[in-house]
Structure 1
Amino acid sequence: MAGPSRISSVVNFLGSMRLAVSLLVLLAIASVIGTILNQQQPYEDYALKFGPFWFDVFRDLGLYNVYRTNWYLAIVGFLVLSTSTCLIRNTPRMIREMREPDTAMASAYDPQGMANKTEIISSLPMDSATQMVVAVLRGRGYRPKLHDRGDGGMVILGRKGRYSRIGYILTHAAIIVFCAAALYNADIPVKLAMLTGSTQPENNFHIPLSKVSKNAWLPVGNPAYRGTVTVPEGQSTQVAYELVGNGYLVQPLPFRIKLRRFHVSYYSTGMPKDFISNIVLYNDQGKVLKEANVRVNHPLSYEGVQIFQASFVDGGSLLKMKRYMLNNPSAGAIHQEGRVGQSVDLSGTTYKLKLKNFSLDNVVPAAAIESVPAGDQQHINLGPSFTSIAQSGSGSGAEFKTYMQPISRGGQSYFVQGVRTAFGTPYQYLFIPTGPNGSIGLFMKYLSALQKQAMVNKSENNKSYVLNTFRQVIARDAPSMTADAEAAYFQSAISAILQLKAYPVPFIVTLTGFDHRWAAGLEVTKWPATIVIYWGCAVLVLGIFILFYLPQRRLSVVLRTLTEGTEVIIGGTSSRNPYEFTKEFDGLVTRLRSVLRNQDDQKESNDG
């Protein structure tokens, strides 16, 4: 007997409401984490955001890929098991109840235990009173069933909304469908392959695709996947990358994706309003399979694979720059070129300049740069900029954000550059006044003249010397500058020279031109179970509708023979909306009193 008892206990536990609610709460918590915390991002992004301690904690908990962690899949699996157990146990009984009420339980439908109850004394005999009650119940939409009490009395059970149990069955079935689809879309075969060692993520993000280990390649026929890929304008790809921990897996695609054009529009605040990728799909023979514009929430679908617009970045724009040496400004500007994502050798120095990113527009509040906007314009566009990292052979360096267009402050135009020596700290901005041609060439000539004069006469280091040198440079290189402009430029130049004392590198790089190229960040997914989830949603909505709008209402009428007439005790209850049912019950009682003709000798006890 111990064996069946234990099995029964396990079944009761799996089918219990307490377990199902607990699992749903855990899933809700996990879903909140997965919604708030961006999933499947590079580990270095998380490390910079959370710091080393919390990065390790969150990584060990699997919070960077919640929906594919073992504990999340275990919760989903247990919820499927629990809901299935509950459905299997209760569905046969509910079907029987929908077909016929349980006659064996007729004695349990005691009107005295129901929320609404009334007692009526009728002068009619038992048979006539029974016929009247049955007729009234049928007229109100109930299905009356008569049961002999065995003591000369009669019980009439009436029920309406018997198909409300279908709502229970449908909602539970929908939960099973959702969870089963989630398990299918979780790419369990890949997880098993990783456990056995036949599939291993590649950890080197800087090697070409041809050098990626074969163990990091997923099969073309993988039933479900979710990968990302960045495609520059005019280029194509036939793979997507699925981030796994601190590495990635390569998912071959059944077609080639080419990005023809990319367009982005902005709000006046500088936030992206819309970004559109014009994408063409090709087969291996170069035949066009499909062409479409992909934008946020408007993916391209082809043979079960969906391509979503996820982000956009620079696609390797060509930047044209000038480099000025601070320790030798008389050498003039040195022309440099490089593409975003690459490093540029800086001849004559021990530094390399890594071109990190390029922004075509930089919209900021006008107050941030002390600029007065025209009209109601509260934001201004500072124009193109690029970020770069200067790294020396000894390991020292700094990060820069360099703006191409001069910025006007207080009537003077400035070259602006943000500088920081530690990642994550705020930029410290350098303002160098620009000359009549909009460049810092005039400032560099003044700096060169100051350095030469300092070498000739090191003892002469006063304001008169600095001012005289400035006037000589202006007379030679900017003779058309007005007296007011000359005074403003001088003050700005002195401030810039003082700022340069803390400048971390011996050169300044400015942006003179560019050949811009966008790159679209695409998310490529294949979820065959998606259609199942859609049908599950329809089933869930239908089940909830039935539960809320087709409540089950029960009536129990007990008739007992008296010396002169019949005692009729009526009780009723509803699974939903008791207030509405009370009004219906009162109307039913009024009708019964009328047909039973008990106005003169009724005895009423109504607790409802």
Structure 2
Amino acid sequence: MKALLNLLRSMRFAIAILTVVAVAATTGSVLEQSQPAVVYVSHYGEFWATFFRLCGLTDVYHAWWFFVLLAFMASSTALCLWQNIPSMVRDMRAYRENKSLASLRGLEHHVEFNLGTEKAPQAGLASYLTSQGFKYKHTFIAGGSMLAARTGSARRLGYLLVHGAMVLICVGGLIDGNVFLRLRLWTGDVKVETRDLAPDQVPAASKLGATEGSYRASMTIPQGEVAHTALIQMGEGYLQQELPFSVRLKQFRIDHYANGQPKDFASDIEIIDGEQVVPATLQVNHPYTYRGVTLFQSGFADGGSKVKLGMLPSKGSSAQQQPVSGAVGHGTPLLMDGEPATLEFTELRAINVFDKDDVRDKNWNSRGKPGDRTRDVGPSVAFRIRDKLGQSDDWLVYQRAVEIDSAKYRLIGRRHAQEDAMRYLRIPTSANGSLAAYTRLINAMGDPQSRARAAKEVTAKVVDVRLASTLEKTSEALMAGFYSKGYRALVDMVQTNGDSEQELKIGQLYLQLLERSASLLLALDTETTPRFVHDALNAYNDTLEMQLPALFIFESFEQVNATGLQVTHAPGAALVYLGAALLAMGVIAMYFVRERRIWLHTQGENLLLAFSANRYTPALQAEFDRHTDAIAQLVCGSHVSPIP
């Protein structure tokens, strides 16, 4: 036991522990903490992700070995402090008046004077020492009178302050690390919940009381609602933390830059503590503290905005579009191709900022990806459609038509579960952004009578009867085939003997005939142009290739904002702040306060002046010379040469 105590209170052991703690803290600053496992796997690979997890490096400040290091460091430093306090206090109070004359003469800075018949004025010497900031003690030693003086003893307080500060910081870290919660998790008294449950459905084993130590949690509150719990992220799961009060979000405000980017956001809240209601405003970098709990504005989210969609069959239909309504974060049942499915709204964005000048070069084509954010193109809604087998597709639909190359398009994106990138469909619209012309074209192309009528109009001015009949049949076959298979039907109809050049020419003729026939399907629509027909055929072909079961129209929405708050309770923070202040004071005392001592020994006609300091500085010799001249002037009234 004695050997263990000697080890703990040794300075080498304390320095070794401090070094390890510093390295661990540096690792915690470099490596992202408390991220999902998939983040570490994607960044560092499976091997290193597993290594980091096993070593506790993904949550350094809550790792068991980090707590052990802090405990050892606090214990070692406290024992060192306890061991050295008595000697430090004695040294601070000691005048060292019993120092022998031989040891005084052995100091580098000393001088002796022969006073002749003069006697050294002890009162004058004592007054001089006091005026220079020295405290002194008068005694008699070695047959003479000794004035032993000191100043700067507060330097030794720096040692005590620095070591005491380290103890306070370690204890504060242990308190805010919530060691007791870690023990409860280890023993199974508290269990991490991994399911996405409503607050009132979280089991008691995953709930923490309002007075259970320190925590750093997060909470999301929709506008107008009240919350009294927050979630503590624990790896892949969470714990529910009860707050000592409730928080109501009165209003959430977002300010934007001119280009639509978020500039600032703030939350007007009410803290409800029993019958007491305390209003407060939270902004980024402007938290609010109540009863030791600090609320930070950390972000914002959707609070369950109401969204209304219109759903059309991808091949068009004479039937009216089917309305689909729901709220972000909730599911809505619907039928897809006659099969039951669930539509889950995942995100509503009221502002989407893309390339300011032109989106032409940003691949807003049928497979393209949206470009860099620099101008607002209007609201969008993201949702997920899940079939009865649990398989899902992600969708993204924009509410307004987007202008690209002087034409307007409705944008619809979809990503299969097994795909990485979202594929975009752009459907041409009329000048007012309506899809009516596109829908009429697809409906007419799917109607045999409309196809026959358009095919006859194609050959209306052809004189040759046999040629007219062939063109009519080809036109009708092209429209019917395109309606069923898209451009693949044109490829199948091109029959040659392997002559690629001839196939290309025939394919171009078929495409021209198809576009001419399709334009006649919309002969009465004054808004349609050859470009519109071309874009409409491309869009319809893409719906077939993308196997879109339906087309969704983003009709309207009612946005409900929610604020994201970070909630912290750190009872050990006061100790850490106090320790930091004491550490700064201690460092200042140790490095900027100089301890100096003067001895004046008078014996008969001789006066011995000795001077020392805790460390040598360039000004030390000048200070010694100043004291020498002043004391010589004091005792003799004029300069006295020292005894050689």
TM-score under structure 1 normalisation? Answer: 0.80
Asked whether the equivalents of residues 126 and 559 of structure 1 are also in contact (C-alpha less than 8 Å), the reply is no
Alignment map for 1:536-555 (pairs within 5 Å): 536-549=579-592, 551-555=593-597
Asked whether the equivalents of residues 119 and 567 of structure 1 are also in contact (C-alpha less than 8 Å), the reply is no
Q: CA deviation at 1:358?
A: 1.3
Structure 1 residue aligned with 2:438: 443
Which residue of 374, 382, 391 maps to 1:387? Answer: 382
Q: Which deviations, in whole Å up to 9, do the C-alpha atoms of 1:344-401 show, x marking residues without a partner? A: 33413355433211112223442572599xxxxx931222122223344566554333
- Matched residue of 1:475: which SS? coil
Identify if the C-alpha distance between structure 1 residues 102 and 385 changes in structure 2 by more than 3 Å, giving closer, same or farther.
Answer: farther
Distance in 2 between residues matched to 1:538 and 1:301, nearest whole Å = 21
- Matched residue of 2:189: which SS? coil
Q: CA deviation at 1:324?
A: 3.2
- Matched residue of 2:209: which SS? coil
Identify if the C-alpha distance between structure 1 residues 305 and 558 changes in structure 2 by more than 3 Å, giving closer, same or farther.
Answer: closer
Q: Percent identity among equivalent residues?
A: 24
Q: Which deviations, in whole Å up to 9, do the C-alpha atoms of 1:5-61 show, x marking residues without a partner? A: x2563244367552353144135325524xx6254x555666666665444333333
- Matched residue of 2:10: which SS? helix
- The answer on 1:518 being equivalent to 2:508 is no
Structure 2 residue aligned with 1:237: 227
- Matched residue of 1:74: which SS? helix
Distance in 2 between residues matched to 1:429 and 1:108, nearest whole Å = 96
- The answer on 1:141 being equivalent to 2:133 is yes
Asked whether the equivalents of residues 28 and 57 of structure 2 are also in contact (C-alpha less than 8 Å), the reply is no
Alignment map for 1:447-458 (pairs within 5 Å): 447-450=442-445, 454=478, 456=480
Distance in 2 between residues matched to 1:17 and 1:555, nearest whole Å = 31
Q: Which deviations, in whole Å up to 9, do the C-alpha atoms of 1:549-608 show, x marking residues without a partner? A: 4x123246697999xx869675543559x345555345445545666889796699xxxx
Which residue of 62, 66, 74 maps to 2:60? Answer: 66
Asked whether the equivalents of residues 200 and 215 of structure 1 are also in contact (C-alpha less than 8 Å), the reply is yes
Distance in 1 between residues matched to 2:49 and 2:297, nearest whole Å = 28
Structure 1 residue aligned with 2:204: 214
Q: Which deviations, in whole Å up to 9, do the C-alpha atoms of 1:524-549 show, x marking residues without a partner? A: 33333444444444444444444454
Residue identity in the other structure for 1:141: G
Distance in 1 between residues matched to 2:445 and 2:117, nearest whole Å = 122
Distance in 2 between residues matched to 1:126 and 1:156, nearest whole Å = 21
Residue identity in the other structure for 1:76: L
Residue identity in the other structure for 1:325: P
Identify if the C-alpha distance between structure 1 residues 147 and 398 changes in structure 2 by more than 3 Å, giving closer, same or farther.
Answer: farther
- Matched residue of 1:291: which SS? strand
Structure 2 residue aligned with 1:360: 350
Which residue of 21, 32, 40 maps to 1:37? Answer: 32
Structure 2 residue aligned with 1:80: 74
Aligned length: 577
- The answer on 1:254 being equivalent to 2:251 is no
Please, what is the CA RMSD of the aligned residues? 4.1
Q: CA deviation at 1:260?
A: 2.5
Alignment map for 1:82-231 (pairs within 5 Å): 82-102=76-96, 117-118=108-109, 120=111, 122-124=113-115, 137-144=129-136, 158-205=149-196, 207-231=197-221
Identify if the C-alpha distance between structure 1 residues 146 and 31 changes in structure 2 by more than 3 Å, giving closer, same or farther.
Answer: farther
Identify if the C-alpha distance between structure 1 residues 255 and 601 changes in structure 2 by more than 3 Å, giving closer, same or farther.
Answer: closer
Greater CA drift, 465-474 or 495-504: 495-504
Distance in 2 between residues matched to 1:108 and 1:420, nearest whole Å = 93
Distance in 2 between residues matched to 1:329 and 1:358, nearest whole Å = 28
- The answer on 1:319 being equivalent to 2:298 is no
Q: CA deviation at 1:204?
A: 1.7
Which residue of 15, 22, 25 maps to 2:22? Answer: 25
- Matched residue of 1:77: which SS? helix
- The answer on 1:584 being equivalent to 2:610 is no
Structure 1 residue aligned with 2:271: 281
Identify if the C-alpha distance between structure 1 residues 57 and 271 changes in structure 2 by more than 3 Å, giving closer, same or farther.
Answer: farther
Identify if the C-alpha distance between structure 1 residues 490 and 9 changes in structure 2 by more than 3 Å, giving closer, same or farther.
Answer: same
- Matched residue of 2:523: which SS? helix
Distance in 2 between residues matched to 1:208 and 1:107, nearest whole Å = 84
Asked whether the equivalents of residues 236 and 257 of structure 1 are also in contact (C-alpha less than 8 Å), the reply is yes
Distance in 2 between residues matched to 1:107 and 1:430, nearest whole Å = 100
Distance in 2 between residues matched to 1:411 and 1:143, nearest whole Å = 90
Asked whether the equivalents of residues 445 and 521 of structure 2 are also in contact (C-alpha less than 8 Å), the reply is no
Greater CA drift, 331-340 or 43-52: 43-52
TM-score under structure 2 normalisation? Answer: 0.76
Distance in 1 between residues matched to 2:42 and 2:195, nearest whole Å = 19
Residue identity in the other structure for 1:159: R
Asked whether the equivalents of residues 223 and 562 of structure 2 are also in contact (C-alpha less than 8 Å), the reply is yes
Distance in 1 between residues matched to 2:567 and 2:578, nearest whole Å = 23
Structure 1 residue aligned with 2:369: none
Identify if the C-alpha distance between structure 1 residues 363 and 62 changes in structure 2 by more than 3 Å, giving closer, same or farther.
Answer: farther
Residue identity in the other structure for 2:517: T
Asked whether the equivalents of residues 10 and 80 of structure 2 are also in contact (C-alpha less than 8 Å), the reply is no
Distance in 1 between residues matched to 2:352 and 2:117, nearest whole Å = 90
Which residue of 284, 287, 293 maps to 1:305? Answer: 293
Distance in 2 between residues matched to 1:127 and 1:93, nearest whole Å = 40
The structure having more radius of gyration, on CA atoms, is 2
Distance in 2 between residues matched to 1:509 and 1:119, nearest whole Å = 97
Q: Which deviations, in whole Å up to 9, do the C-alpha atoms of 1:250-300 show, x marking residues without a partner? A: 22333333222212223346553322222233457xx45323222233334
Structure 2 residue aligned with 1:335: 323
Q: Which deviations, in whole Å up to 9, do the C-alpha atoms of 1:489-547 show, x marking residues without a partner? A: 34544554565465264333231211111122223333334444444444444444444
Distance in 1 between residues matched to 2:276 and 2:126, nearest whole Å = 72
Asked whether the equivalents of residues 129 and 136 of structure 2 are also in contact (C-alpha less than 8 Å), the reply is yes
Residue identity in the other structure for 2:595: R
Distance in 2 between residues matched to 1:234 and 1:560, nearest whole Å = 86
Structure 2 residue aligned with 1:402: 397
Distance in 2 between residues matched to 1:107 and 1:256, nearest whole Å = 75
Distance in 1 between residues matched to 2:566 and 2:158, nearest whole Å = 37
Distance in 2 between residues matched to 1:215 and 1:329, nearest whole Å = 54
Which residue of 5, 10, 14 maps to 2:7? Answer: 10
Alignment map for 1:361-380 (pairs within 5 Å): 361-366=351-356, 369-370=359-360, 379-380=374-375
Asked whether the equivalents of residues 280 and 288 of structure 1 are also in contact (C-alpha less than 8 Å), the reply is no
Identify if the C-alpha distance between structure 1 residues 44 and 510 changes in structure 2 by more than 3 Å, giving closer, same or farther.
Answer: farther
Alignment map for 1:492-531 (pairs within 5 Å): 492-493=535-536, 495-497=538-540, 499-500=542-543, 502-503=545-546, 505-531=548-574
Alignment map for 1:566-577 (pairs within 5 Å): 572-575=612-615
Residue identity in the other structure for 1:382: V
Distance in 1 between residues matched to 2:97 and 2:418, nearest whole Å = 77
